[in-house]
Amino acid sequence: MICEIIQLSAARPKLAKGERPKIGGLYSPIVRDGEGLTETAKNSRLRSDRLDAWRGANAVMRYWHICMKMESAISYVQRFDVPEGKLHPVREPKDHGTLIERYRLAWCHLMLTPAPDMRSVTWKQAQLKAENYKYTGLPPARIEQAIADDIAFLKAHPTRRKDLQQ
């Protein structure tokens, strides 16, 4: 067998330190602000702040939703007088209403929390379409305005530079 070694690095021009390769005008100069951040980096930080707020509001909503489920499960086993039911204090049915109110309040808070990405906007739109606001007291016009604000923000703060998108 004959083996031939090809020097691939010989065809590639050497670049100065910090220089970017030019490939058919694909790259444009990187513009940085006074802090040394690019527009994309600033947008990423803004979205990251929104993501933190979104996750916090989502955690609270999930907490109350799971509390309602646990309350229901405890009530169910106590109704049939099984040993697991004795592990928990007897619950009053009126307490379940308080859990529902807190869950609905947390849902409203999440709906009005700025969305960090389009997936979250899509979730909000699905919640609006399913009319999950009916028993919350939150008017659908307010939810629609929050969604419109989210979409406007996400368009104004893209994750990629437009001159690199094809």
For residue range 143-161, what is the model confidence (pLDDT) as tens digits? Answer: 999 999 999 999 998 877 6
pLDDT over threshold 50, residue 122: yes
- 30 or 68, which is more confident? 68
Q: Say how many Å lie between the first and final Cα of the chain, rounded.
A: 45
For the chain, domain boundaries:
40-155
Closest among 163, 157, 152 to 43, alpha carbons compared: 157
pLDDT over threshold 50, residue 166: no
Q: pTM of the predicted model, to two decimals? A: 0.74
pLDDT in tens, 73-113: 999 999 999 999 999 998 787 788 999 999 999 999 999 99
Alpha-helical runs (H) found in 80-139: 93-112, 118-129
